[in-house]
């Protein structure tokens, strides 16, 4: 599978000035930026910054950022599934994980999450891939958002649906561990049926074990 990366950029009005939404951003460009200190949902900001640079250097890796000046205030990552995860077991080169999406607290009312995703799929990028995201409630900022688990789930579904991702059933144990967890998927229009069938076997492992 060819990984077409077409750089796209947009400017949104922020509270303190313009916010630039851009990507996929190459590693050397990411090194010039710094992460907002409140981007700490997954790991410490300096560690997350290093992880973003590493992902950006992968052939399939994509980092889309929202930045105010040289400060990244939001990002979304795309990469192959971790080799230890269920989703890597099919060895599919056209299965891409939307691994993380995060926006700093004070910037969450600006529609940056939607803008980040729209930029990632712009100009038919990823139309030759199945893009999935696993939503686990334990990653959600329930305290900061003041939402309950079901309200947050509805918010995440609405966000993912903005780029054509829809809920898919699965018997994956981690997703089944809590009813609020879910699998969201976008099957690109250029994905062959053989890949869709292979993905079905991955998401229903228990069914195909008998």
**34 occurs within a structural domain:** yes
Q: Considering the chain, what is the average pLDDT of its residues?
A: 93
| Residues of the domain holding 130 | 8-209
**3 occurs within a structural domain:** no
Is the predicted pLDDT of residue 205 greater than 90, yes or no?
A: no
Place of tokens 């829809």: 166
For residue 207, the model assigns a pLDDT of 61
**1 occurs within a structural domain:** no
- How far apart CA 103 and CA 14 sit, in angstroms, is 13
**94 occurs within a structural domain:** yes
Contact by Cβ (8 Å): 120, 78: yes
How many structural domains is the chain composed of? 1
Contact by Cβ (8 Å): 174, 181: yes
**122 occurs within a structural domain:** yes
Q: Which two tokens stand for residue 149?
A: 């688990």
**87 occurs within a structural domain:** yes
What's the CATH code of the domain at 114? 3.40.630.30
Is the predicted pLDDT of residue 210 greater than 50, yes or no?
A: no
Contact by Cβ (8 Å): 78, 189: no
Per residue in 95-151, pLDDT tens? 999 999 999 999 998 999 999 999 999 999 999 999 999 999 988 888 888 899 999
Residue 44 half-sphere exposure toward CB, CA atoms < 13 A: 2
- How far apart CA 162 and CA 15 sit, in angstroms, is 24
- Detail the DSSP E strand segments found in 27-94: 34-35, 62-68, 71-79
DSSP 124: G
Torsion angle in degrees (nearest 10) through CA of 129, 60, 49, 70 = -80
């Amino acid at each position: 599978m060819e990984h077409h990366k077409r750089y796209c950029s947009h400017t949104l009005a922020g509270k303190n000035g313009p916010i630039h939404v851009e990507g996929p951003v190459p590693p050397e460009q990411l090194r010039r930026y710094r992460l907002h200190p409140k981007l700490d949902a997954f790991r410490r900001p300096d560690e997350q910054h290093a992880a973003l640079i590493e992902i950006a250097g992968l052939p399939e890796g994509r980092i889309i950022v929202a930045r105010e000046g040289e400060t990244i205030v939001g990002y979304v990552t795309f990469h192959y599934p971790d080799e230890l995860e269920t989703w890597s077991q099919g060895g599919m080169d056209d299965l891409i994980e939307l691994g993380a999406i995060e926006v700093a607290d004070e910037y969450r009312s600006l529609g940056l999450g939607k803008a980040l995703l729209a930029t990632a799929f712009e100009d038919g990028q990823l139309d030759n891939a199945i893009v999935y995201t696993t939503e686990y409630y334990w990653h959600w900022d329930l305290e900061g958002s003041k939402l309950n688990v079901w309200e947050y789930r509805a918010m995440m579904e609405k966000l993912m649906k903005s780029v054509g991702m829809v809920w898919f059933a699965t018997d994956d144990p981690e997703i089944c561990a809590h009813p609020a967890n879910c699998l969201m998927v976008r099957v690109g229009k250029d994905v062959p049926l053989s890949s869709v069938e292979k993905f079905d076997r991955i998401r229903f492992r228990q069914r195909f074990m008998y």
